[in-house]
Amino acid sequence: MGDNSQGLEQRVAELERAVTRLNDIVEIQHLLASYGPSVDSNSIDLAGEIWVEDGIYEIDGWELGNRQQIRDMLYSETHQEYVRVGSSHQVSPPRITLQGDTAVAITYQILIANGPHGFMIRRLTANRWALERRPEGWRVRRRTNRLLNGSPAARLLFRHSLQGVDDPLAVFEEEYEPTPRDFAREQVELFERSNGTEGNTMQDRPIVVLTTIGRKSGKVRKSPLIRVEHDGQYVAIASYGGRPENPEWYGNLLHQPQVELQDGATKRRYLTRVLTGAERDTWWDRAVEAFPTYAEYQLKTARRIPVVLLQPL
């Protein structure tokens, strides 16, 4: 009788744990499923309540740092226009991994909006939702999304989330593929080995090392570039010595705008943006001041040499 009673108690305890787990999964499913109807009905307060007060929404490297900033984004002209013409933020059924009082869910999201030619898909993203249990229920601690445009970042977000990697966008932990150009490869190796104290100049000018993700291979690529910095901000100049085509690293960052830059011993991640207009002109002048040969490179090529701003993440 005692053994039977103990076995029954164990089975009841296992059943209780299973029911709790199912309740958690259903609550998280309902929470994430409420996002689309909340934003599409312009119920912005309800949409904000999905996050904890200091929750984060990170969109392709652009970070909203709390619930109010998320609400402000939903009040923006861009989003309000989607509401005005009619839109649907469709979140797919989530794949949920429970970890005690925390959880990770991955979903797709499709933004469909009305327009002159009817409804069209405007955006398709991979999403990772990091959640935590609060007294009021499950809430989002951090949402990360990446465009499903062939970018390695979206694939890594899904793959690392499935594998349980804490940093799902650890893109710079992928396999490193050195450049086939001997001088560039050797300079990068010397620069990194010495923590920026050696191999830190090019044509008597200081350099930085830019790390990108290969748009075809998905592997880590590193390039030594002339250092162009002003008031703590950096730009990368895609001069390629005045050749007709852009350098490989420029194509990489167009495909995956998240990069890493090492200046001396300091290494940091950035989100890149190609400059235009007066902003580009201002930074081009600064670049020529830092390295006058850039002006000669521009004269050698018919293309307008791209200037890329690095925005800290």
Q: Tokens in use for 44?
A: 């912005």
CATH of the domain at 201: 2.30.110.10
139 and 26 part of one domain: yes
Looking at 143, 168, 193, the residue that finishes a domain is: 168
Same structural domain for residues 17 and 77? yes
Residues 37 and 148 in one domain: yes
- Looking at residue 1, its pLDDT comes to 53
**Cα–Cα separations (whole angstroms), residue 313 to 32, 62, 63:** 26, 7, 8
Any bridge partners for residue 224, and if so which?
209
Residue at 7 is within a domain: yes
Q: Which domain holds residue 112?
A: 2-168
Q: What is the DSSP string of 128-197?
A: EEEEEEETTEEEEEEEEEEE-SS-HHHHHHHHHHHHT-SSTT-GGGSPB---S-HHHHHHHHHHHHTTTS
Tell me the pLDDT of the chain (313 aa) as tens digits: 556 777 788 888 899 999 999 999 999 999 999 999 999 999 999 999 999 999 999 887 678 989 999 999 999 999 999 999 999 999 999 999 999 999 999 999 999 999 999 999 999 999 999 999 999 999 999 999 989 987 667 887 888 888 887 766 565 666 788 888 888 999 999 999 999 999 999 999 999 999 998 888 888 999 999 999 999 899 999 999 999 999 999 999 998 888 999 999 998 888 899 999 999 999 999 999 999 999 999 999 999 999 999 987 6
Q: What is the pLDDT of residue 168?
A: 61
Residue where a domain terminates, one of 120, 140, 168: 168
In 3D space, the residue among 126, 105, 118 whose CA is nearest the CA of residue 24 turns out to be 105
- If asked whether residues 151 and 11 sit together in one domain, one would say yes
Q: In this structure, are 124 and 61 located in the same domain? A: yes
How far is it, in rounded angstroms, from Cα 125 to Cα 77?
21
Shared domain check, 198 and 111: no
What is the token pair recorded at 181? 């150009």
Please indicate, yes or no, whether residues 32 and 137 belong to a single structural domain of this protein. yes
Residue 173 domain-assigned?
no
Angle made by CA atoms 36, 41, 46, in degrees to the nearest 5: 70
Angle at 148 between CA 144 and CA 153, to 5 degrees: 55
Tell me: do 136 and 265 sit in the same domain: no
Pairing type for strands 205-213 and 201-202 reads antiparallel
Task: Evaluate whether residue 217 is within a structural domain.
Answer: yes
Domain CATH code at residue 9:
3.10.450.50
In a domain, 177, yes or no: no
For residues 192 and 146, state if they share a domain. no
My answer on whether 186 and 302 are in the same domain is yes
Count of the separate structural domains present in the chain: 2
Identify whether residues 12 and 147 lie together within a single domain: yes
Spatial separation of the C-alpha atoms in residues 286 and 228, rounded to whole Å: 7
Q: Report which secondary-structure segment, H or E, holds 15.
A: helix 2-33
Nearest of 88, 97, 112, 1 to residue 37 by alpha carbon: 88
Residues contacting residue 57 through CB under 8 Å, at least 6 positions apart: 51, 63, 64, 69, 70, 73, 142, 143
Domain finish residue from 135, 168, 201: 168
> Would 176 be classed as within a structural domain?
no
Contacts 24+ apart (CB under 8 A), 196-205: 196/262, 196/263, 196/264, 196/265, 196/266, 197/264, 197/265, 199/224, 200/264, 202/226, 203/291, 203/293, 205/290, 205/291
For residue 174, being part of any structural domain is answered with no
Distance CA 21, CA 198 (A): 55
Q: Is residue 35 part of a domain?
A: yes
Alpha-carbon distance values, 305 to 48, 54, 89, 250, 286 (Å): 42, 41, 38, 11, 14
* 85 domain residue, yes or no: yes
Through-space distance between the first and last CA atoms of the chain, rounded to whole angstroms: 63
Are 55 and 157 members of one domain? yes
Collapsed DSSP state (helix, strand, coil) of residue 90: strand
Residues listed for the chain: 313
Model pTM score? 0.61
